[in-house]
Amino acid sequence: MVWDGVEALDNEVDAGTQTRIRLHSRRLVERGTRWLLNNRPQPLELAETVEFFAERVEQVWAQLPKLLRGADLDWYQKIHDELTGAGVPEELATRVAGFSSAFPTLDIVSVADRTGKEPLDVAEVYYDLADRLRITQLMDRIIELPRADRWQSMARAAIREDLYAAHAAVTADVLAAGNGSSTPQQRFQLWERKNAALLGRARTTLEEIHNSDSFDLANLSVAMRTMRTLLRSHS
């Protein structure tokens, strides 16, 4: 749908806008492919994988940006407004603006499958945590790490994937708090009280890192280790 929509914009919008949409699309495909290769049983059964994810991923994606908070919502709105301002139709701009936030739906669906929760319930907690724990800003700093050689690229990819995995695991932990009628805020408050000491130390460390003048593999590795400490309550 996206590729057909881009092709239909020939002579309707400038070539730079079309290229930008293609790049957003390619990035999502590359990230999704890596995730499937790293997280699903191999060799990958394509028909079975599509059947497992397609409907539930679309269920969450269709609710963007209602599910987004804070920096994720700001980014979505920025891309959407830039594309519509360049003449991209509303439906296509909405789809493309959601690419960055749609990638985690693979983790969201997997958490839903493991916990027996509905994907939208998982998504509400996932995106709520991204804002409350400033995970999105941390991910932005990781994405900005240099990729001057293969080792830097591999280190950057590894720490990014670790953060996604930790985010998914914390989401599952928070989902276990409360009951079926609990809101994401109520679940978080219950989880926060249960893990007050761990969360307090983690927030202090993460705040120091967020306030750093520069970001490199050293302080971002500490941030990642700090995120993992939040999982000790159920290890």
Residue range 121-175, pLDDT digits in tens: 999 999 999 999 999 999 999 998 988 899 999 989 899 999 999 999 999 999 9
Mark which of 103, 136, 163 sits at the end of a domain: 103
Mark which of 77, 103, 129 sits at the end of a domain: 103
Please tell me whether residues 95 and 2 are part of one structural domain. Answer: yes
Alpha helices, DSSP H only, in 62-149? 70-85, 90-97, 99-102, 105-115, 119-132, 135-143
Please tell me whether residues 121 and 16 are part of one structural domain. Answer: no
pTM higher than the cut 0.85: yes
Mark which of 68, 103, 138 sits at the end of a domain: 103
Please tell me whether residues 98 and 174 are part of one structural domain. Answer: no
Q: Which residue has the tokens 């985690």?
A: 104
pLDDT of residue 233: 54
3-state secondary structure of 165: helix
Please tell me whether residues 132 and 75 are part of one structural domain. Answer: no
pLDDT of residue 5: 83
Please tell me whether residues 227 and 142 are part of one structural domain. Answer: yes
Please tell me whether residues 36 and 68 are part of one structural domain. Answer: yes
Structural domains in the chain (count): 2
Low-confidence ranges of the chain (pLDDT < 50): 234-235
Please tell me whether residues 129 and 43 are part of one structural domain. Answer: no
Domain that holds residue 87: 1-103
pLDDT of residue 169: 95
Please tell me whether residues 65 and 110 are part of one structural domain. Answer: no
pLDDT of residue 173: 94
Q: Centre a 10 Å sphere on the Cβ of residue 42 and count the other Cβ atoms it contains.
A: 8
